[in-house]
Amino acid sequence: MIGYVTLGTNNIEKATEFYEALLSEIGAKRVVNEDHLKMWSVARGQPMLGVIKPYDGKPATVGNGTMPALLLDSPETVSKMYAKALELGGTDEGAPGPRGAGQLFFGYFRDPEGHKIAFYAPNKAKD
């Protein structure tokens, strides 16, 4: 149902560098490349994640309670992407592992501007 999510940025170049390196790990490519907006997707017609300079010209801020979650193919990919995010300057918000009843496997991080992101996948150990 979600078509795209954008994260506000005060440094479009730095944000683009971070997400380009991170999302390329899962085969995502940049599908929008405007001066004020960059967006990535794994395939045309699939959901997109983007970074954007706020249209109103005011500083971008981190949304309290805002957290895009990116569905990945396996717990191993969640762990790999979480490690890559930290390597690229992200910070830990919850190490990879099963959550809740263990049906899903999550890893949480904050990007260099403070946006909280989750990677998750079905937990094969519980299948």
pLDDT tens string 11-66: 999 999 999 999 999 999 999 999 999 999 999 899 999 999 999 999 999 998 89
Residue 29 located in a structural domain = yes
Question: Across the beta sheet with 29-33, what order do the strands follow?
Answer: 4-8, 48-52, 37-41, 29-33
Range of the domain at 10: 4-54+66-126
Please determine, for residue 112, whether its predicted confidence score (pLDDT) is greater than 80: yes
Number of domains composing the chain: 1
Residue 72 located in a structural domain = yes
Angle at 43 between CA 39 and CA 49, to 5 degrees: 25
Integer Cα distance of 9 and 65 in angstroms: 17
Q: Which of helix, strand or coil describes residue 26?
A: helix
Average pLDDT, the chain: 95
Residue 61 located in a structural domain = no
CA 16 to the chain's CA centroid: 12
Residue 60 located in a structural domain = no
CATH code for the domain of 47: 3.10.180.10
Residue 106 located in a structural domain = yes
Q: What percent of the chain has pLDDT over 90?
A: 89
